[in-house]
Chains A and B, each alone.
Chain A
Amino acid sequence: MSKEPQLDRELGWLRKTLESAVPPVADSEPRRDLWPLVLRRIAQPQPRTSLRMPWFDWALLGLAATALFLFPALLPALLYHL
């Protein structure tokens, strides 16, 4: 008695068990073509990171810069604490 028929039987049993355990997928195809979406996504420009600050923050920065310009002695004290 050769081993091959026994192996075939075991593989057949395994296949049937797996097929019964995992039912076939009804709609395996996507509902629409996804490739144009992929192409559009690739063609989109990368988002640019920019320094967007509200006007209030710009005003504060200007205020601090003016104070440092008017009182240069502030600089060593600020550098010491940063």
Chain B
Amino acid sequence: MNRHPYLRAYLAGICVPTIFLLFVATGFIFMRYVYNLPVPIERVIVFPMAAVPNLWGVWNILFVSFLARRRFSIGLFGAFLPLLLAPLGFTVAHLLQFPIPPHVLAAAPVALPVGMVLYYLVWKHLVGSLNAELGVA
């Protein structure tokens, strides 16, 4: 199992958001087309569909290649990912002229720490166990 460690790290990294996206996208589509939610979600769905899982994979490759041998906490490393994702997601939404609801914008200062806490837990317990299962960390 010493072959292609970065490929396995990438696959372990994209696994959680890819599975999660299935449920999120289903929920978004139901809200948009069944309940006629007046928010053009399809304009920005490319961000959680393409950018987020790939960034998780790349983030895990970075962890495996630089930090896994130094016993750095994978949860802590994962908790820093929202610091990259949040401005990136906001920029994508802004560039695609997505109307962010004002109450969501108002909750942004709380969203970042809550996101970091959730990322810490998910990376520590899910991505960490996937890495162990695939023998990369």
Contact = CB atoms under 8 A, between A and B. Distances in A.
At the interface, is chain A mostly helix, strand, loop or mixed?
A: helix
B86 to A, nearest CB: 6
B89 A80 contact: yes
Contacts of A79: 24, 27-28, 48
Given A53-B125, A60-B121, A80-B93, 12 more contacts: A57-B125, A60-B120, A67-B110, A73-B101, A73-B106, A76-B104, A77-B111, A80-B44, A80-B89, A82-B20, A82-B21, A82-B52
A53 to B, nearest CB: 7
Contacts of B62: none
Nearest to B120: A60
B108 interface: yes
15 contacts: A57-B125, A71-B107, A73-B103, A73-B104, A73-B107, A74-B110, A74-B111, A78-B118, A80-B48, A81-B115, A82-B21, A82-B24, A82-B48, A82-B52, A82-B118
At the interface, is chain B mostly helix, strand, loop or mixed?
A: helix
B82 interface: yes
Interface residues of B, number: 31
Contacts of A64: 114, 117-118, 121
Contacts of A63: 117
B48 A81 contact: yes
Interface of B: 17, 20-21, 24, 27-28, 44, 47-48, 52, 82, 85-86, 89, 93, 101, 103-104, 106-108, 110-111, 114-115, 117-118, 120-121, 124-125
Contacts of A73: 101, 103-104, 106-107
Chain A contact patch, size range: 10 to 19
A11 to B, nearest CB: 44
Q: Which of A51, A57, A76 has the most CB of B within 10 A?
A: A76
Nearest to A52: B125
Interface string A41-82: 000000000010100010011011001100101101111111
